[in-house]
Copies of this chain bind each other. A is one copy, B any other.
Amino acid sequence: MSRTPILALHGGAGTIPSGSLTPELTDAYHAGIRAALEAGHAVLRAGGSALDAVTETVMSLEEEPLFNAGRGAVYTTAATHEMDAAVMDGATGRAGAIAGICGPRHPVLAARAVMEQTAHVFLAGEGAMAFCREIGLEFMDPAWFGTERRLDALRAELARRASGAADTRSDADRHGTVGAVALDAHGNLAAATSTGGLTAKTPGRVGDSPVIGAGTWADNATCAISATGQGELFIRVAAAHEIAARMRWGGQSLAEAADDVVNRVLAPIGGSGGLIAVDAAGNLALPFNCEGMYRGFVGADGGFRSAIHREDWRVRQALSR
Contacts and interface: CB of A to CB of B under 8 A. Distances in A.
Nearest to A89: B236
Contacts of A125: 100, 124-126, 204
Is the contact region of chain A dominated by helix, strand, or loop, or is it mixed? mixed
Nearest to A217: B238
A212 interface: yes
Interface stretch (A21-29, A239-247, A295-303): A239-247
Interface residues of A, number: 45
Which residue of A203, A237, A269 has the most chain B CB atoms within 10 A of its CB atom? A203
B211 A212 contact: yes
B204 A127 contact: yes
A205 B238 contact: no
Given A214-B213, A245-B245, A236 B205 contact: no
Contacts of A18: none
| This protein's copies in its complex | 2
A212 B241 contact: no
A206 interface: yes
B124 A232 contact: no
A111 interface: no
Contact of A122 (B126, B128, B205, B217): B205
B211 A122 contact: yes
Contacts of A217: 238
Interface string A118-158: 11111111111111000000000000000000000000000
A214 B240 CA distance: 13
Interface stretch (A65-73, A91-99, A176-184, A311-319): A91-99
Interface of A: 82, 93-95, 99-100, 118-131, 202-207, 211-214, 217, 231-232, 235-238, 241-242, 245-246, 248-250, 269
